[in-house]
Amino acid sequence: MNRFKKHLDLQNVLKIIQGDDSEYEGCDSDSDEDIDDPDYTPTRKDMENDESSGSDSESGSSDLEDAQPHTGRQNTTSQGKNTFSWRKKYFETPECTFKGPSVTPPDNLQTPLEYFRKFITSEMLELLKEQTNLYSVQQSGSQKNVNTTVKEMEILIGIYLRMGLHQMSGNRAYWENDTRCPMVADNMSRNRFQTLLACLHFTDNNDLSNRQEGDKCWKLRSWLDMFRKQCLAITPEEHNSIDEQMVPFRGTHSPIRQYVKGKPHPWGLKIWARCSSSGILCDFAVYQGGTGKKTPLGMGGDVVVELCESLPSNQNYKVFADNFFSSPALIVKLLSRQIYFVGTLRCNRLAGCQLEDEKSLAKRGRGSVETMVEKEDRMVIVRWYDNKAVTLISSYCAVEPQDKARRWRKSDKAFVEVNRPHIVKEYNKFMGGIDLLDASVANTT
């Protein structure tokens, strides 16, 4: 037990906090693995074949300015209906100045209730009231109509938000004498709260027109559509990130409940979301399970295309996503609407681009980089070595201008400056929109 009582001085604390951790811990080729992705079935043999194909490549120059435009190797392969040819040359950055409307913070901050009503409108509350009353009659007859009102629906939702800020072991605890929460108990009785929850409904079960074939969310579809409409009313920012979001749920009666290993809440409802870099939800789609059908872009690419349909074309928007979504074919698809993309890339989606392997980059030292540019200059693939290799793909930025990242070196027990490509800086800066949204939601649930 004495080994656990080791004195922690400043250097030991910094070593524990910083270590040799890369900015891409969890973003390597195996991260965000989803068994429902029809185009992703990685095996050890696949990874070994990919590494061996890259080991025969020439060592790339760290200074892309000195690279000759048409020297080095050339690789040609096809992915779906797209044919890609890769060359070792300098990536010409396209003219991608943002042309969309600028987004500035409001001069006067609104109250929480005013923000709430921007997303939960009176029309949505009226629908909720009508369907809740209707369901109570259908279940128990007219003599037991709950007769709720729009105001009471607002109070019910407000109570749930308050419960998220002040969590207890169960709903009853908010009304018990020893643990009573005045803000909850003073606004609604316990019996009324439980009655409304039992009757809460969003659509008429007896109306067959509501049951669209293949839609597992048909009971919430009207509310989801109205809520999405309010999200789409927000002016999108130049930089958007796309990722999955887990809504915690452990009930056993949901046909769309998912289990995602490694998440803070592994059991829940999966939502594909597009957020601005400031953490504002702009568009979303509820994941209802895989179809088993293979598409040219795969499940991840199809999600990005779907969520980008609500972005105006030809405005030079920038979209960021992790390696579950990224592929060269996706970049070509987005460029047809003048939307630029940056994302990490899996080793089995390189589309025949042979990059220097991780061992070779490690020998060149921390901060070494290897790039390959598509023949038509539509995209560039960059492999950067920090404490491990990470591969990124982009249609608008590459290595230059590089900056310095501060890293802890164990051998010297000191911080060192490591060269960091511009594409890495851009990804780290604008990919965190979903994380900001999750942090905000975690404070109210």
Query: Which tokens go with 432?
Result: 């965190």
* Amino acid occupying residue 224: L
Q: Which helix (H) or strand (E) holds 299?
A: helix 298-308
Which residues on adjacent β-strands are paired with residue 406? 417
Q: Phi and psi dihedrals of 189, rounded to 5?
A: -75, 160
Letter string b/e over residues 201-211, b meaning 16 or more CB atoms within 10 A of that residue's CB? bbbbeeeeeee
- Residue whose C-alpha is closest to residue 94's, from 275, 300, 334: 334
Q: Do the beta carbons of residue 152 and residue 133 sit within 8 Å?
A: no
CA distances from residue 5 to 1, 2, 8, 12, 19 in whole angstroms, order as listed: 7, 5, 9, 13, 20
Query: How do the pLDDT tens digits run along the chain, 445 residues long?
Result: 444 444 555 555 444 444 444 444 334 444 444 444 434 333 333 334 333 333 333 333 333 233 333 334 455 555 545 688 888 889 989 999 999 888 887 788 888 888 899 999 999 999 999 999 999 998 877 667 889 999 999 999 999 888 888 888 888 999 999 999 999 999 999 999 999 999 999 999 888 888 888 888 889 999 999 999 999 999 999 999 999 988 888 888 888 888 888 877 888 899 999 999 888 999 999 998 887 788 889 999 999 999 999 999 999 999 999 999 999 999 999 999 999 999 999 988 988 888 888 889 888 888 899 999 998 899 999 999 888 899 999 999 998 888 888 888 888 788 888 889 999 999 999 998 888 888 877 766 5
pTM score, whole prediction: 0.78
Neighbouring residues of 209: CB distance < 8 A, sequence distance ≥ 6: none
Structure confidence at residue 343 (pLDDT): 94
Neighbouring residues of 88: CB distance < 8 A, sequence distance ≥ 6: 58, 60, 67, 71, 72, 73, 371, 372, 373
- Residue whose C-alpha is closest to residue 355's, from 375, 376, 369: 369
Which residues on adjacent β-strands are paired with residue 245? 271
Structure confidence at residue 316 (pLDDT): 94
Neighbouring residues of 320: CB distance < 8 A, sequence distance ≥ 6: 239, 240, 241, 242, 341, 342, 343, 426, 427, 430, 431
Neighbouring residues of 270: CB distance < 8 A, sequence distance ≥ 6: 244, 245, 246, 247, 256, 258, 260, 286, 287
Letter string b/e over residues 250-259, b meaning 16 or more CB atoms within 10 A of that residue's CB? eeeeeeebbe
- Whose tokens are 């490591």? That residue is 418
